[in-house]
Amino acid sequence: MTCQLHVDELSFEVKRSPRRHTLELIVERAGALVIAAPMETDEVSMAAFVREKKFWLYRKLAEKEARQQPTSGKEFVSGQGFIYLGRTFRLLLVEEQDAPLKLTNGRFRLRADHAPHGRDTFISWYMERARSWLKKRIRGWAPRVGVEPRGIEIRDLGYRWGSCSKTGALNFHWATILLPPSVIDYVIVHELVHLIEPNHTPIFWQQVGRVLPEYEQRKTWLAEQGGAYVSL
C-alpha cells in the first residue's frame, strides 16, 4: 500500500506493510525518498520521524548529488567559503604556518601541503574547537537544567546532532560547531534534558521549555536548515 507524504520541502512515497514494526527512511538510487511504515502509523508520527532524521536525509542526498556531479563539492582552494559558528569564512592557502589550519583575521588559512586532504584537516579542526566550545557552554547550561554530565565526546554521529549515553556522557556531532550559537544551545539543552528524561515525552519538552522557552523556533530552524550546514 503506497501514498505520498509531504514534510516541509520534502516529498516521500509511503510504503505500508503489515509485516513492518518500525519506521524506516530510504533514499533510493535515483534520489527518490521512501518511508517504510507499519500499517497503523499515522501521518503526524511519520512527519515527526522525518524531521528527527532530516540531518541524515540531507547528508544522503548531498552524497548522491556529489557522486553524480563530482566537481560540485567543496574545493580546498583560496576563496572557497567554510562555515564556523553560523558564519562563512573564506579560505586562503598559505605556504608556511605553524599549524595545518588556522582561523585568523576573518579567514581560514590552510597550509597548501594539507589541501589534498583538506576535508580531514577541517574536520580535525572543527572537532578540536567543538570540544572546548561545547564544554564551556555546557558548564553554563547544566546548572539550569539541574544535571551534571559525566563527560563529552565529539564524533561523527551520522544523522544525529547529539546523543546521551547510559553512563551520563554526552556525544555531539562534530558538525554541531558549524551551527549558529543559539541553535547549538538548543542542541546542548536538548541533550542535557535527556539525562533526566530519556524519551521525547511531554515531560521532556516541558523541561526543555522551562530552560529554553523559545526552543520551538530553534528546533524548527535546525530541522529545516541544519542539514545544509554539513557542507564538507
Given 52, 67, 89, the domain boundary residue is: 52
Establish if 114 belongs to a structural domain: yes
| Residue 106 confidence (pLDDT) | 95
Identify the CATH number of the domain in which residue 123 sits. Answer: 3.30.2010.10
| Residue 70 confidence (pLDDT) | 41
Q: Which residues contact 196 (CB under 8 A, 6 or more apart)?
A: 145, 146, 147, 207
Terminal Cα-to-Cα distance of the chain (whole angstroms): 38
Expressed as residue numbers, the domain containing 109 is 81-229
Claim: this prediction has a pTM higher than 0.85? no
pLDDT tens string 41-92: 999 999 999 988 887 787 777 666 554 444 446 889 999 999 999 999 999 9
| Closest to 84 in 3D by CA, of 55, 63, 108 | 108
CB atoms near residue 23 (< 10 Å): 17
Establish if 74 belongs to a structural domain: no
Please give the backbone phi and psi of residue 10, each rounded to the nearest 5 degrees, phi first: -110, 145
Establish if 58 belongs to a structural domain: no
Given 12, 37, 52, the domain boundary residue is: 52
Mean pLDDT by 10 residues, the chain (232 residues): 78 89 81 87 91 80 56 79 96 96 97 95 97 96 96 87 89 95 96 91 93 92 80 68
| Closest to 48 in 3D by CA, of 26, 21, 25 | 25
Asked if 44 and 37 count as a contact pair (C-beta separation under 8 A), the reply is no
Establish if 67 belongs to a structural domain: no
9 shares its domain with 116 = no
95 shares its domain with 44 = no
112 shares its domain with 186 = yes
What DSSP state is assigned to residue 166?
A: T
The Cα–Cα gap between 206 and 23 comes to: 26
| Residue 67 confidence (pLDDT) | 47
The Cα–Cα gap between 46 and 97 comes to: 50
